[in-house]
Amino acid sequence: MKLAAVGSNCIDYYNNLDGGKAFPGGGPVNMAVYTVRLGGEAAYIGPVGNDSYGEIMMEAMKKKGVNISHLRVEEGKTAVSQVELVDGERILGDYEEGVLETYVLSDEDMDFIQNFDVVICDVWGKVEGQFKELKERGITTAFDCATYLESNASEQAIPYTDFLFYSTDENDSSQLREQMKKIHEKGPKYVICMMGTAGSMCYDGKDFHRFGIIPCEEVVDSMGAGDSYIAGFLKGMIEGKTIEEAMKLGAANATETLKYFGAW
């Protein structure tokens, strides 16, 4: 699979870890790295600031084998999320958007993305308004709503998304399944709900598919687990695996990420 990861990136700054530590991350960036980890190819398309965090982000992605030929360095700050780690669970604090605030894809970016099997963006990526054009160009699209299913960004992207992901604390229920059906009616081919320790569920317009988790002996940090699942699921689907096989690949990839600090 060749993945084009578009939009948001950020430095995850852990306030209570050894006096403060900075880790490169952000949903699309994480998904690009995890795709390469699984043996695929990936490029990141998006902006960083001309600051030290921007340098950290670029060098880290290059070391992981991610194509950054269409990454832009802009005057300003790289996005930063404040994070506190409590019993292996991350608690997100303040978020500074930096140069992401005014980001849009150029025509050249769009042309570049057409060379990939699928493009992924998330709710913070700023390009949801361009998903219609991506779709019209014949590009397979994926979007991560995270926990912001009813946000303006999600609402704009959903009608033009092939693989729609979102997260919830709920377990499988009739209400959740009804919600997934309603989302599917808006346009996505597949609606995938990530339910944390309850596993995941996918609705393909006809059937619901369930998969649990692959246990992790010691959870160190949950940062990036959902992004790992998305990368694994997409790789499975794009490469012709069944939905259940793709879900298993996503779950296994997520478990690997739980074993260390930071997204990667």
Q: What pLDDT score was predicted for residue 49? A: 97
pLDDT the model gives residue 83:
82
**In this structure, what token pair is assigned to residue 42?**
């990936």
pLDDT score for 260: 55
Look at residue 33 in the predicted model and tell me its pLDDT: 94
> What pLDDT is recorded for position 88?
59
User: Which pLDDT does position 213 carry in this prediction?
Assistant: 78
Domain residues of the chain, as ranges?
Answer: 2-257
What is the pLDDT at residue 254? 84
The pLDDT, as a whole number, for residue 90 is 66
Please give the chain's pLDDT, 264 residues, in tens: 999 999 999 998 887 767 678 889 889 999 999 999 999 999 999 999 999 999 999 999 999 999 999 999 999 999 998 888 776 566 778 889 999 999 999 999 999 999 999 999 999 999 999 999 999 999 999 999 999 999 999 999 999 999 999 999 888 899 999 999 999 999 999 999 999 889 999 999 999 999 887 766 666 555 667 899 999 999 999 999 999 999 999 998 887 765 455 555
* CATH code for the structural domain at 2-257: 3.40.1190.20
pTM score, two decimals? 0.89
Give the per-residue SS3 of the chain. Answer: CEEEEECCCEEEEECCCCCCEEEEECHHHHHHHHHHHCCCEEEEEEEEECCHHHHHHHHHHHHCCCECCCEEEECCCCCEEEEEEECCEEEEEEEECHHHHHCCCCHHHHHHHCCCCEEEEECCCCCHHHHHHHHHCCCCEEEECCCCCCCHHHHHHHHHCCEEEEECCCCCCHHHHHHHHHHHHCCCCEEEEECHHHCEEEECCCCEEEECCCCCCCCCCCCCHHHHHHHHHHHHHHCCCCHHHHHHHHHHHHHHHCCCCCCC
Predicted confidence at residue 22, as pLDDT, reads: 86
Counting residues of the chain whose pLDDT is more than 90, the rounded percentage is 74
Q: What is the pLDDT of residue 205?
A: 97
Q: What is the pLDDT of residue 219?
A: 61
pLDDT digits (tens, 9 = 90+) for 198-211: 999 999 999 999 98
